[in-house]
Amino acid sequence: MPPAELPPLNGDMTMSQVLQAYPGAQRALFAHYHIGGCRSCGFQPGETLAQVCERNENIPITEAVTHIQESHQGDASLQISPQDFDQLRRIKTDLIILDVRTREEHEAVKLPGARLLTQELVQEIFTSGDKTQTLVLYDHTGSRSLDAAAYFIGHGFAETKCLSGGIDAYSRDIDPSLPRYRIEIED
């Protein structure tokens, strides 16, 4: 299946639209410009990319757009489709599957062989893990696991991947016996 066509990115798009099209945009903006990672540098969903760039040292729109797009390509290279993951887990007996969701989500439904990523497990992997082993991280919908993957890659675990679409896509596309769920956030 070919990748979905991404909409062109421009300064008139609201941050909500930018994040819808490029889910890693906030991480990219924070890493490069320190925008959007905390209350003092945050942005509102209705603000345009141009407004955000203007009030953050007047960053050129074209520069921000290029950075978001390049970061998106990097994020895409870290992802593994549910289909490819399913094949990989059948042939790689030493595959490490890490669940970056909450304990409650993990206890409710998890991928076969997955371990909940805790601080203790991170320390165990960092001190005694084989940096050549393949790690596959997943969350609910594939939006948060990229941050955890970047952390592992930054510590030398180059064979780290994220399950594209998370456990929800795996349940939908590969194993419908895994219950799907929605998380409702209170205002």
Q: What number of other Cβ atoms are within 10 A of residue 184's Cβ? A: 5
Cα Rg, the chain, nearest whole Å: 18
Which residue has 């410009």 as its token pair?
33
| Contact (CB, 8 A) for 9 and 49 | yes
- The domain over range 79-173 is classified in CATH as 3.40.50.1820: no
Alpha-carbon torsion, ordered 170, 166, 69, 2, to 10 deg: 0
Tell me the whole-structure pTM to 2 decimals.
0.75
Kindly give the confidence (pLDDT) of every residue in the chain, 187 residues in length, as a single tens digit, with 9 standing for 90 and above.
344 577 789 999 999 999 888 888 988 898 899 898 777 788 999 999 999 999 999 999 999 999 999 999 988 889 999 999 999 999 998 899 999 999 999 999 999 999 999 999 999 999 999 999 999 999 999 878 988 998 899 899 999 999 999 999 999 999 999 999 988 764 4
Going from the C-alpha of 24 to that of each of 78, 96, 176, the distances in angstroms are: 12, 24, 28
Q: How many residues does the chain have?
A: 187
Q: Which residues contact 153 (CB under 8 A, 6 or more apart)?
A: 78, 160
Domain boundaries, the chain: 15-76, 79-173
| Contact (CB, 8 A) for 38 and 122 | no
DSSP per residue, 97-163: EEE-S-HHHHHH---TTEEE--HHHHHHHHHH--TTS-EEEE-SSSSSHHHHHHHHHHTT-TTEEEE
